[in-house]
Amino acid sequence: NAGVTQTPKFQVLKTGQSMTLQCAQDMNHEYMSWYRQDPGMGLRLIHYSVGAGITDQGEVPNGYNVSRSTTEDFPLRLLSAAPSQTSVYFCASSYSTGVPGELFFGEGSRLTVL
Amino acid sequence: DAKTTQPNSMESNEEEPVHLPCNHSTISGTDYIHWYRQLPSQGPEYVIHGLTSNVNNRMASLAIAEDRKSSTLILHRATLRDAAVYYCILKETSGSRLTFGEGTQLTVNP
């Protein structure tokens, strides 16, 4: 079982470059989300989706775009990378938006912006 | 979102029980209490959740106070592999968002 797959695992960007972090799940989950985790801190929600074609902003959405064209995929786009976006990014999914809503996390994508 | 308060760090010895506390004095009647843990260099993983009654699963037990303003995650016999950051999170019944705090860093001594 693949679960939640994130690519790439590591990426180095220069300020101003753009890139897409990929997230795919094979569990037919409705809900998908992106978090970022800065050193020594908890996770902060960037964007989330409750189904194909539906996305919404989390706590820290600025500088990021998302789309959800299929149930399986939820890519996160950085339009113009900034050093403040250096972080570890986690994608998570769950079967439903209600209870219990257990989240399954990917292994993370470590991004460094120079 | 209702907030939770956890100690920054706790220590335990291997093979001993661990009680990880969480205060959530502003919890609403429809909030579920979720616990996740994050092992080093990994994504968080689900541990357990509950609403009002105490809950047990293969990983841990969750004890919820009668007034629901606090809860305790219980690891019955800590192992070295249980060293992680443990997050206590409140989740609305119909909502989809989970808001993570800074959690409790658990150290397990051999």
- Rounded Cα distance between B89 and B32, Å, is 8
Q: Contact B43/A92, CB-based, under 8 Å?
A: yes
Q: Contact B99/A45, CB-based, under 8 Å?
A: yes
- Phi/psi at A22 (nearest 5 deg)? -95, 145
- Of the pLDDT bands very low, low, confident and very high (cuts 50, 70, 90), residue B3 is confident
pLDDT(B75) > 60: yes
B9-13 vs B31-38, strand pairing mode: unpaired
pLDDT of B30: 84
Which helix (H) or strand (E) covers residue A87, if one does? strand A87-94
The whole-chain average pLDDT of chain A stands at: 92
Instruction: Scan residues 19-38 of B and list those with Cβ closer than 8 Å to A.
Output: 32, 34, 36
Cβ atoms B31, B52 nearer than 8 A? no
Tokens of A55: 């996305």
E strand intervals along chain B: 9-13, 18-23, 31-38, 45-50, 55-56, 61-64, 70-75, 84-92, 104-109
Percentage of the residues of chain A whose pLDDT score is greater than 70: 95
Among A41-45, A56-60, B89-93, name the one with the lowest average pLDDT.
Answer: B89-93
Q: What count of Cα atoms within 13 Å lies in the side-chain half-sphere of residue A88?
A: 18
Q: Contact B43/A48, CB-based, under 8 Å?
A: no
Give pLDDT tens digits for B13-70: 999 999 999 999 988 888 889 999 999 989 999 999 999 989 999 989 999 999 999 9
Cβ atoms B49, B33 nearer than 8 A? yes
Q: Contact A108/B93, CB-based, under 8 Å?
A: no
The whole-chain average pLDDT of chain B stands at: 91
- Rounded Cα distance between B83 and A44, Å, is 22
pLDDT(B1) > 70: no
pLDDT(A99) > 80: no
User: Which chain A residues have a beta carbon less than 8 Å from that of B42?
Assistant: 107-108
In the block, residue with structure tokens 């959800």: A68
Cβ atoms B19, B105 nearer than 8 A? no
Instruction: Scan residues 49-78 of A and list those with Cβ closer than 8 Å to B.
Output: 50, 58-59
Q: Contact A42/B102, CB-based, under 8 Å?
A: yes
| Interface membership of B87 toward A (CB under 8 Å) | yes
Question: In a mutagenesis test of the B interface, which of A102, A104, A107, A110 is the best target, namely the one with the most B β-carbons within 10 Å?
Answer: A102
pLDDT of B49: 92
